[in-house]
Structure 1
Amino acid sequence: MIKMDKGTVIRTIVLAVALINQFLVGFGLYEIPGTEQDQTAVISGVFTFVATGIAWFKNNYVTAKGKKQKEVLRKEGLTKSK
């Protein structure tokens, strides 16, 4: 069984909820109470954009520190090298 850290699990769940929410809003199956349909679409879109950005950024080596970490992992044979 693959053990994931708590942060990865939380980011994955939030991303899944955001994508499901976006799907429902896109097909008119969900509306946030107290908002109009256009507002619901905007709120849902922003939520999905933010969740996707955070999930992508945290799970990839995009910072200088992350690139150094990836290089150490590669040198130690702990990651696939391309």
Structure 2
Amino acid sequence: MDKGTKIRTIVLAVALLNQFLTAFGFSTIPGTSEEQYLFISTVFTAVTSITAWFKNNYVTAKGVKQKEVLQKHGLTKVK
């Protein structure tokens, strides 16, 4: 996995954990009302999920090979 994929995966895991805690009534941001926290948590999870979905993540062995072929032929950014 490349660095970007790892970062997006970790941030998505944090967002999903936060959403899980919110569903059970735990607020991890001190000083916010329940409505504010729910809004912030939902927006954070939505943005993170969309970003992780939108990016072309090469996670599987087949995906890594595809990325190598694309890079070899100059069809993607080299990272």
TM-score, shorter chain, exceeding 0.5 = yes
What CA distance in whole angstroms lies between the structure 2 residues aligned with 1:51 and 1:23? 15
What count of residue pairs does the alignment treat as equivalent? 62
User: Would you say the 8 A contact 1:12–1:55 is kept in 2?
Assistant: yes
**Structure 2, unaligned runs of 5 or more:** 58-65, 71-79
The answer to whether 1:40 aligns with 2:59 is no
Q: How high is the sequence identity, in percent, across the aligned residues?
A: 69
The answer to whether 1:14 aligns with 2:11 is yes
**Structure 1, unaligned runs of 5 or more:** 61-68, 74-82
Q: 1:53 aligns with which of 50, 55, 69?
A: 50
Q: Match of 1:33, as an amino acid? A: P
TM-score (norm 2): 0.69
What CA distance in whole angstroms lies between the structure 1 residues aligned with 2:12 and 2:20? 12
CA RMSD in angstroms, aligned pairs only? 2.3
| Bigger relative contact order (CA 8 A; separation at least 6) | 2
